[in-house]
Amino acid sequence: MAKGLLFASFDTSPAQEDEFNDWYDLEHVPERLRVPGFLNAQRWVGDDNPKFAVATYDLESHAVMGSPAYQAIGGANGSVWTKRITAIAKRLLRFEGTQIVPGDVTGPANANGLLVASMNVDPAAEAEFNEWYNTEHLPQLGAVPGVLTARRFQSAGPGIEKKYLALYHLTSVDVSRSDAWSNAANTPWTEKMRAHFRDPLVLRCKKYVRKG
User: Is 119 contained in some domain?
Assistant: yes
User: Is 84 contained in some domain?
Assistant: yes
How many structural domains is the chain composed of?
Answer: 1
Mean of the pLDDT values across residues 178-190?
98
User: Is 62 contained in some domain?
Assistant: yes
pLDDT of 160 reads 86
Mean of the pLDDT values across residues 66-93?
96
Q: For the beta carbon of residue 114, count every other beta carbon within 10 angstroms.
A: 26
- Quick check: 111 and 192 in contact, CB under 8 A? no
Residues near 204 by beta carbon (within 8 Å), at least 6 away in sequence: 46, 47, 48, 113, 114, 115, 173, 176, 177
pLDDT band at 189 (very low <50, low <70, confident <90, very high): very high
Is the model's pLDDT at 123 over the cut of 90?
yes
pLDDT of 23 reads 98
User: Is 96 contained in some domain?
Assistant: yes
- CATH number at 111 reads 3.30.70.100
Range of the structural domain that residue 77 is part of: 4-207
User: Is 212 contained in some domain?
Assistant: no
- Quick check: 41 and 32 in contact, CB under 8 A? yes
Q: For the beta carbon of residue 180, count every other beta carbon within 10 angstroms.
A: 15
Mean of the pLDDT values across residues 57-64?
98
